[in-house]
Amino acid sequence: MSKTKTPAVVSGRTPWNRFAYNNNTVGYAFAAPFIIGFLAFTIIPMLTSLYYSFTDYNMINKSNWVGFSNYINLFKDERFLKSVGVTLQYVALSVPIKLAFALFIAFLLTRPSKLVSVYRSLYYLPSLIGGSVAVALVWKELFSRKGLININLAKLGLPTVNWLGSMTAAKWPIILMTAWQFGSSMLIFAAGLKEIPTSYYEAAKIDGANGWQIFWKITMPCLSPVIMFNLIMQLISSFMVFTQAFVITTGGPNDATMYYALYVYKQGIQMRFMGYASAMSWVMLLIMSAITAIVFKTSKHWVFNESES
């Protein structure tokens, strides 16, 4: 940025002034909250928990060093393995459904119309309130055995589903609730769609491309960086699924929705097996990093980068 390292206007040349107006001093002064916060609320807790993951710490008794046994037990713990499985399944189902829906609606709302901004607000509303307990409680009632959905399915002569009581069905209300909050992804897609130069479309039309070809050859490649951004953001947030499952199913039936965060909460906060829960947090960090790394690595092949081509 500045070619003028020390602005001439710095009055007085006392050592204090030279120190106070130096770029390094200014930079660290402004960045200090982040550095302190990062150390205090991320690094120190993480390292402490790394230590505890090798102990049997339970917040009451003195902790004993147990070596790798927490980690070994994790892989023998069927509930843990199942929770990894259902979490991955939830992520694999909810993220694509949510993003496909977001893209579809964003695409529909690019048509110039006075009502479009009203519609956009309408579709955005669920992601504004969807994380709240209030909505989760509504969901629980809608999908309960004698809830609104089942009663109306029956009225239409369709078979009813024991949504929250069946191991195969219980994931759907939660996935549907996640997909329902597609609003913020939709807004990001909409902004991305607006950035695509209309000249690209015109050129394609002149060359005789049909709507389908234009979508796959122009819209999708131009939108791929935005898709990548949404994908990463949604992957991370869907790994954190907690409130909905906690309120709607409490992890049941028979652990069918016992997602990772919920299981960590059960073991750590409720049962106070802090050593075990710490090990679980570290395994989750490794899984998450691996998945994010895979997405970034493969992105070279499908994310179209204008500066490179």
Partner 1 sequence: MKTKKIVLRIIYHIFIAGLGFVMIYPVLWMISGSLKDNSEILSGSLNLIPPHWRWENYKTGWAGFGKITFTTYFKNSIIITVIATLGTVISSSLIAYSLARIKFHGNKLIFTIMIATMLLPGQVVMIPQYLIYNRIGWVGTILPLVVPHFFGAPFFIYMMMQFMAGIPRELDEAAIIDGCSKYSVYSRVIIPLLKPALISTIIIQFYWKWDDYMGPLLYLGKPQAYTVSIAVKLFKDATSKTDYGPMFAMSTLSMIPVFLIFLFFNRYLVDGISTSGLKG
Q: Which stretch binds partner 1 (CB under 8 A): 165-173, 197-205, 216-224, 230-238?
A: 230-238
Contact (CB, 8 A) for 161 and 153:
yes
- Residue 291 to residue 293: CA distance in whole angstroms: 5
Which residue in the set 86, 103, 135, 175 belongs to the binding site for partner 1 (CB under 8 A)? 135
- The alpha carbon torsion through 103, 220, 114, 187 (nearest 10 deg) reads 50
Applying CB under 8 A, does 64 fall inside the site for partner 1?
no
- Looking at the Cβ atoms of 180 and 201, the one nearer to partner 1 is 180
Residue ranges in the chain assigned as alpha helix (H): 15-20, 23-38, 44-52, 69-74, 78-108, 116-129, 133-142, 148-155, 171-180, 183-195, 198-206, 211-214, 220-239, 243-248, 260-265, 274-302
Which residue has 């005789």 as its token pair? 208
To partner 1, the closest distance from the beta carbon of 289 in angstroms equals: 8
Alpha carbons within 13 A on the beta-carbon side of 282: 20
| Tokens of residue 282, six digits | 């570290």
Which residues lie below 8 Å from residue 295, measured CB to CB, with a gap of 6+?
228, 231, 232, 235
- Least distance to partner 1 from the beta carbon of 208, Å? 21
How large is the C-alpha radius of gyration of the chain? 26
In the complex with partner 1, which residue's Cβ is closer, 31 or 81? 31
User: Is the distance from CB of 144 to CB of 247 less than 8 angstroms?
Assistant: no
The reply to whether 133 sits near partner 1 by the rule CB under 8 A is yes
Alpha-carbon gap, residue 195 to 192, rounded angstroms: 5
Shortest distance, position 206 Cβ to partner 1, whole Å:
22
Task: Find where tokens 């949504």 sit.
Answer: 163
Query: Binders of partner 1 among 237-296, rule CB under 8 A?
Result: 237, 239-240, 242-243, 246-247, 260-261, 264-265, 268-269, 274, 277-278, 280-281, 284-285, 288, 292
Q: What residues from 2 to 21 belong to the interface with partner 1 (CB under 8 A)?
A: 2, 4, 7, 9-10, 21
From the list 25-33, 68-76, 197-205, 208-216, the region that binds partner 1 by CB under 8 A is 25-33
Among 196, 204, 220, 228, binds partner 1 (CB under 8 A): 228
Residue closer to partner 1 (CB basis): 194 or 207: 194
- 3-state class (DSSP) for residue 55: strand
203: contact with partner 1 by CB under 8 A: no
Taking the least distance from each CB to partner 1, the nearer of 34 and 207 is 34
Indicate the residue among 207 and 221 with the shorter CB distance to partner 1: 221
Phi first, then psi, for residue 218 (nearest 5°) are -120, -55
Between residue 29 and residue 48, which ones bind partner 1 under the rule CB under 8 A?
A: 29-31, 33-38, 40-42, 44-46, 48
Chain residues 98-127 in contact with partner 1, contact rule CB under 8 A: 105, 108-109, 111, 113, 115, 119-126
In this structure, what is the dihedral angle of CA atoms 56, 60, 63, 64, given to the nearest 10 degrees? Answer: -60
Q: How far is the CB of 171 from partner 1 (least distance, A)?
A: 18
Size of the site for partner 1 (CB under 8 A): 102
199 makes contact with partner 1 (CB under 8 A): no
302 is an interface residue for partner 1 by CB under 8 A: no
| Closer CB to partner 1, 36 or 203, in the complex | 36
Beta carbon nearer to partner 1, 16 or 207 = 16
- Name the one residue in this structure whose structure tokens are 């927490």: 70
